[in-house]
Amino acid sequence: GIQVEQSPPDLILQEGANSTLRCNFSDSVNNLQWFHQNPWGQLINLFYIPSGTKQNGRLSATTVATERYSLLYISSSQTTDSGVYFCAARGGSGNTGKLIFGQGTTLQVKP
């Protein structure tokens, strides 16, 4: 099955800094999503982005499907951005198969 790897595993930023999180996947994907898990365990869907670029406020994401990676950009980080960021991918064609999660990037934003 598809393998999903995220980097870096941990990231510490000062408030106001920018960051880029990376997600590599081992096969072609027909689904790629980014999630943020807050310190209370709630997983929030940030982007559904199997290809192309999307922006939502200070967050944006780009997936280059042909090169098998996706990037999540966080600009002007805030302490509320702290938590774990996951990407999840589904490989192959059609609508079968399951979403596989990467191991996550743990982000700590210091005031």
Question: Could you list the residues that contact other proteins (CB under 8 A)?
Answer: 31, 33, 35, 40-45, 48, 86, 88, 90, 95-104
Q: How far is the CB of 37 from other proteins (least distance, A)?
A: 9
Task: Tell me the CB-side half-sphere exposure of residue 78, using CA atoms within 13 A.
Answer: 4
- Residues contacting residue 13 through CB under 8 Å, at least 6 positions apart: 19, 77, 107, 108, 109, 110
- Are 36 and 43 in contact by the 8 Å Cβ rule? The answer is yes
Q: Which residue, 14 or 40, has its beta carbon nearer to other proteins?
A: 40
Q: How far is the CB of 109 from other proteins (least distance, A)?
A: 21
Q: How far is the CB of 17 from other proteins (least distance, A)?
A: 26
Q: Which residue, 18 or 45, has its beta carbon nearer to other proteins?
A: 45
Q: Which residue, 71 or 97, has its beta carbon nearer to other proteins?
A: 97
